[in-house]
Amino acid sequence: MTAVYGLYPDGASAQQAVNRLRAAGVLDRDITVISAQPMEDYEFGQMDKATWMWWFACLGGLIGLSAGLGLTWLTETSWPMDVGGLPIYAWWPNTIIIFEMTMLGAIVATTLTFVLSALWPQRGRTLYDPEVTEGQILVGVEHPVDELVSELERALSAPPGARVKTR
Amino acid sequence: MPRWGMAVDLDRCNGCAACVVACHAENNISTVGADEAARGRAKHWLRIERYWEGEFPDVRLTFRPVLCQHCDNAPCEPVCPTYASHHTEDGLNAQVYNRCIGTRYCANACPYNVRFFDFFNPSWDKPLHLQLNPDVSLREAGVMEKCTFCVQRIQAAGTQASAEEREVQDGEIQPACVQSCPSKALVFGDLDDPGSRVSQLSRSPRGSKLLEDVGTRPKITYLARQSQA
Amino acid sequence: MTHPTGSRINNDLLRPLLLTSWRFYVLVAFFGAFVAAGLIAWLSQIFFGFGISGLRWPVYWGFYVTNFVFWIGISHAGTLISAILRLVNAGWRRPVTRCAEVITVFALLIGAMFPLIHLGRPWLAFWLFPYPSERLIWPNFRSPLVWDFFAINTYLTGSILFLFLPMIPDFAVVRDRATGLRRRVYRVLALGWRGTPKQWHRLETAMQIMAIAIIPVAVSVHTIVSFDFSMAPVPMWNTTIFGPYFVAGAIFSGIAGLLIAMAALRKFLHLEEYLHPVHFENLGKLLLVMALLWGYFVFNERLVTYYGNGPAEMAVFRQTQWQSFAPLHWTMVFLNFVLPLTLMGIRKFRTIAGCVIASIGVIVGMWLERFLIIVPALGHKYLPYSYGTYRPEPVEIVITIASFAAMSLLYVLFAKFIPIISIWELKAGEHPPAPDLVPPATEEHRLGDLRL
């Protein structure tokens, strides 16, 4: 047995299923919810909301800024070239390079954080049902302890419209 | 370090264009032929601008040889992405053909329109192909080229002088245009040497710079015309 | 505004992917032929030399740079508008964002081609790239063209990611719906998307950060494109107004491009139930605002030049206002100001057809605007002896047409392989409000979106 889960037609019954699983003693981090769209109007849709992504974006921006500064500073001072009477290290024009590198760093860092935190495969977290695409909401528990399966099935089948499956 | 510059006496220039021919010959500037020249592809590093003043029949003809002004604040230099256009230590506005990728930005930035683009690979009508100057590299299609103040002659004179353990004398270096000018309208030399002829002429009250108000600080001084002829 | 729901959305929006009509092949062949002609034209320009173009001393920039600025301008349709609409959480944005963002990516790709096409030695274009080379020299970071390289690089990277991230859940939909090879391809593209709350939150947070980051980048990109001109001491170029003027013009032409694309999608993919007249009306109002802004900038630029009465500037000014470029100039004013003001300002005309007519006018007008910025100024620069003019040769015209065909071709292909309207965002917009019996999301949860 790798998973026991229910499919629910709407957010309200999915919310009931989540509440009953909690009542049955399942921790939030063990509950798997899958939907075809963000369900932020429901409480269960708010799980795992906290993220460090903003800080990683800032960090990426900082790295990009340093890269831009280093690139312009090192190359222009190592190969000093006089062009049109501008200073060898001209701040105003180089600000543009530094700005673009900063933003690039932030964008890349955001994407990396997203990929690593949301898409990177987690061991044992593979539960999925193609019916989700058609609007069903999946609530389930992966790798349940065998003794608890029947209790979980009871909890999952209680909300209206539930269809409980095991895998 | 010298600071090379030029003085052009407009009183002496009679518009004969010997300098233009000499420049073409010295610097291996390809002749593009009549058709291409009519399409605006002629490359005269040095050109004689001809202006008519007054109303017929009371007209006056004036000439102005225009070549790269080797500006101290050259607008063509900072815009080049590859440093093909940059400033040398002796004040020349250098163009490194091998670095040039042909954005043509320098030509746009130049207020004097003295930079030229090679639209095709160079070719010469016979027998001009037999008189190429071995001291000057040929430019392939797609690069910008312009007056160098005959940098090959400046280098050669400097090498000769250092071999003979002496300084380069005033008047020793003559770019092709200066050498060929029959009326001696062009004077070339070191602007940092207060005794040189060119710096004496540059300080003349007749002197002015071309498009001085653009702020490019050109190194060519034009001596205003005084005669009424 | 009502939309179909649930499976209906899937069916409608996946139909173009799963069913192919003969019209698709005809369109691809039609646009592909033009693109092929453009490629041949470019290759012949490389082979025979740049001389086969119409460029001449002293007008060294012509159609290619016009196209470059034009397409970079068009690219401001998508990511910028979509990012702003996302940040202000405009509900009507949902069917619009993706078809807008796609325009950005493709217009940027096409626009970024033009500096290469325009190079004298395009095979050396990589010298703009900052890398330690055996030539012992780096790019000149003081050159506006290098700024262009960095700005477009950042903007393109950001736009592609901004487009791609919200496509991942839709790839998962296709994966679940399709069979065979298609299923395997979309399985890879979906990157293991399941749809857990964590994934949705991360996606939405990522999109918010990207939206915040991409707006200043988009503004900077077109400002830097304007710097290509305003950094040079050329009469009528060297002016501080060019930055905002170009940004406004870019958004203006971008909205016009978006309206045309939306009208075409609506008609050919039968998306009448998704792209409503209200979308066109809203974007039409935006077009009206930008037309007014454009007129304001042009008036500023012109009046200041006229009053300053500098001899060099006035030489260019007269050319555009009364002399050889006047017909083009006044056509531009009509197409960019009078026409959109009439069509978009009067409610009766603010229909889909009215929007499309105004947009086509704006596209042509904005192309002319860039041409009229570049060519008259270069042709009348200071010394009257060096005045010149410019006339495009066939190679430039073919490549210009090919760029429009390339845009259409890429758009057709994209709409064929990827749902052109974001499925999950549409679904997220339509789900009903939470019933009372469920513990509702607290105010804190809702505001969580904006938490730093």
Residues of C in contact with B143 (CB under 8 A): 120-121
Ranges assigned E (strand) in chain B: 4-9, 47-53, 60-66, 85-87, 93-95, 115-117, 144-146, 186-190, 207-208, 220-223
> Quick check: ipTM above 0.85?
yes
Q: How many CA atoms lie within 13 A of B203 on its CB side?
A: 9
| Most C-contacting residue of B49, B105, B222 (CB-CB within 10 A), to test interface | B105
Of C61, C115, C144, the CB nearest to B79: C144
Residue with tokens 């695409």: A133
> B78 near B226, Cβ under 8 Å?
no
Range 139-158 of C in CB contact (< 8 A) with A: 140-142, 146-147, 150-151, 153-154, 157-158
The set of residues, in sequence order, having a beta carbon less than 8 Å from that of C5 and lying 6+ positions away, is C427, C430
Is the CB of B74 less than 8 angstroms away from the CB of A84? yes
Q: Closest-CA residue in chain C for A11?
A: C434
Residues 6+ apart with CB under 8 A from C149: B81, C128, C129, C139
What is the SS3 string spanning chain A?
Answer: CCEEEEEECCHHHHHHHHHHHHHCCCCHHHEEEECCCCCCCEHHHHCCCCCCHHHHHHHHHHHHHHHHHHHHHHHHHHCCCECCCCCCCCHHHHHHHHHHHHHHHHHHHHHHHHHHHHHCCCCCCCCCCHHHHHCCEEEEEECCCHHHHHHHHHHHHCCCCCEEEEC
User: Cβ contacts (< 8 Å) between B65 and chain C: which residues?
Assistant: none
pLDDT confidence tier of residue C330, bands split at 50, 70 and 90: very high
Residue C284 reports pLDDT greater than 90: yes
pLDDT for position C59? 93
Q: Which of B150, B39, B15 is nearest to B94 (CA)?
A: B150
Candidates C195, C202, C220; nearest CB to A114: C202
The residues, ordered by sequence, that sit 6+ positions from C96 with a Cβ below 8 Å of its Cβ are: C82, C85, C258, C262, C275, C279, C283
Contact between C105 and C76 under an 8 Å Cβ cutoff? The reply is no
Range of weakest confidence among A124-128, B5-9, B216-220: A124-128
Nearest to B83 among A81, A85, A93 (CB): A81
Alpha carbons within 13 angstroms on the beta-carbon side of residue C119 total 19
Report the residue from A90, A94, A103 with minimal CB separation from C154: A103
CB contact under 8 A, B142 and C60: no
Query: Rounded mean pLDDT of B186-200?
Result: 94
Taking a C-beta distance cutoff of 8 angstroms, is the pair B117, B104 a contact?
yes
**Is B79 in contact with C115 (Cβ distance < 8 A)?**
no
d(CA C110, CA C252): 19
pLDDT of amino acid A104: 96
DSSP-based three-state secondary structure for C298 = helix
Per-residue model confidence (pLDDT) at position A73: 92
Residue in C with minimal Cα distance to B110? C233
Q: What is the pLDDT of residue C433?
A: 46
Domain boundaries, chain C: 6-126+229-432
pLDDT band at C4 (very low <50, low <70, confident <90, very high): low
CATH architecture classification, B4-223: 2-Layer Sandwich (3.30)
Q: Do A84 and B75 touch (CB under 8 A)?
A: yes
pLDDT digits (tens, 9 = 90+) for B45-67: 999 999 888 888 888 888 999 99
Write out the two tokens for C440: 């509702």
User: Taking the mean position of all CA atoms in its chain, how far away is CA B221?
Assistant: 12
Q: Least CB-CB distance to A83: which of C140, C147, C151?
A: C140
Q: Which chains touch A (3 or more CB pairs under 8 A)?
A: B, C
Which residues, at least 6 apart from A154, have a Cβ–Cβ distance to it below 8 Å?
none
Could you give the dihedral angle defined by the CA atoms of residues C241, C243, C248 and C253, in that order, rounded to the nearest 10 degrees?
Answer: 120
Distance from C401 to chain A by nearest Cα, in Å? 31
- Among the listed ranges A120-134, C54-68, C239-253, C304-318, which one has the minimum average pLDDT value? A120-134
Three-class SS of C133-189: CCCCCCCCCCCHHHHHHHHHHHHHHHHHHHHHHHHHHHHHHHHHHCCHHHHHHHHHH
| Chain segment A63-116, per-residue pLDDT in tens | 999 999 999 999 989 888 889 888 888 899 999 999 999 999 999 999 999 999
A84 in contact with B at a CB cutoff of 8 Å? yes
Strand partners, B5: B189
Answer whether the bond into residue C58 is a cis peptide, omega within 30°. yes
- Chain A residues near residue C203 by CB distance under 8 angstroms: 38, 114, 118
| The pTM of the whole model exceeds 0.90 | yes
Orientation of helix C277-308 relative to helix C352-379, angle to 10°: 20
CB A29 within 8 A of CB A160: no
The domains of chain A, with CATH numbers, are 3-35+135-166 (3.30.70.940), 53-119 (no CATH)
Q: Which C residues in the span 184-203 are in contact with A, Cβ-Cβ below 8 Å?
A: 191-203
Which of C177, C224, C431 is facing A11, going by the closest CB pair?
A: C431
Q: Which residues of C touch A83 (CB under 8 A)?
A: 140, 142
A146 φ/ψ angles, rounded to the nearest 5 degrees: -55, -40
Q: Is the pLDDT of residue B103 over 90?
A: yes
| pLDDT computed for residue B229 by the predictor | 55
Please name the residues in contact with A70: beta carbons below 8 A apart, sequence gap of 6 or more.
Answer: none
Q: What is the DSSP letter of C84?
A: H
Question: Distance between CA A41 and CA A38 in Å, rounded?
Answer: 9
Q: Which residues of A touch B68 (CB under 8 A)?
A: none
Interval B75-83 mean pLDDT: 93
Helix (H, G, I), strand (E, B) or coil at C295: helix
Dihedral angle of Cα A48, A54, A57, A58, to the nearest 10 degrees: -150
Within 8 A of A81 by CB-CB distance, chain B residues are 83, 86-87
Look at residue C365 and tell me whether its pLDDT is greater than 60.
yes
* C428, C203 Cβ separation under 8 angstroms: no
* CB pair distance less than 8 Å for C154 and A12: no
Chain C residues whose beta carbon lies within 8 Å of the beta carbon of residue A76: 138, 141
**How remote is the C-alpha of C452 from its chain's centroid?**
30
Mean pLDDT, range B127-150, rounded to an integer: 92
Q: Is B9 helix (H, G, I), strand (E, B) or coil?
A: strand
- Report whether the peptide linkage leading into residue B127 is cis, meaning its omega lies within 30 degrees of zero: yes
Tell me which of B149 and C86 has the higher pLDDT.
B149
Confidence of residue A121 (pLDDT cuts 50, 70, 90): confident
Query: Does C142 sit within 8 Å of B78, measured CB to CB?
Result: yes
| CB spacing of C204 vs A79 below 8 angstroms | no
User: What is the model's pLDDT at position C444?
Assistant: 44
Distances (CA, A) of B161 to B88, B173, C311: 20, 11, 47
**B 85-144 → A contacts, CB under 8 A:** 85-89
B122 touches B139 (CB < 8 A)? yes
Chain B contact for C401 (CB, 8 A cutoff): no
Nearest CB among A16, A36, A110 relative to C195 is that of: A36
Half-sphere exposure of C39 (CA within 13 A, CB side): 7
- The dihedral through the CA atoms of B76, B80, B85, B89 has a sign that is positive
User: What gap in Å lies between CA C226 and CA C223, rounded to an integer?
Assistant: 5
Angle, helices C277-308/C311-321, rounded to nearest 10 degrees: 140
Q: Is-cis flag, bond preceding B57, omega within 30?
A: yes
Distance CA C432, CA C449 (A): 20
3-state secondary structure of C440: strand
Query: What is the rounded distance in angstroms from the CA atom of residue C304 to the CA atom of residue C307?
Result: 5
Separation between Cα atoms, residue C368 and residue C431, nearest integer Å: 45
Q: How far is CA C113 from the centre of its chain?
A: 14
C383 CB neighbours in chain B (<8 A) are: 49, 66, 111-113, 211
Place of tokens 């991409």: C214
Q: What is the pLDDT of residue C445?
A: 42
Dihedral sign, Cα of residue B202, residue B207, residue B210, residue B213: positive
- Check pLDDT > 60 for residue C108: yes
Query: Which residue of C lies nearest to B116 if distances are taken between CA atoms?
Result: C57
Distance, in Å, from the CA atom of C101 to the CA atom of C111, rounded to the nearest integer, reads 15
Return the partners of chain B (3 or more C-beta pairs < 8 Å). A, C
Who wins on pLDDT, A132 or C147?
Answer: C147
Interface contact C124-B101, CB threshold 8 A: yes
The size of the A-C interface in CB pairs under 8 A is 194
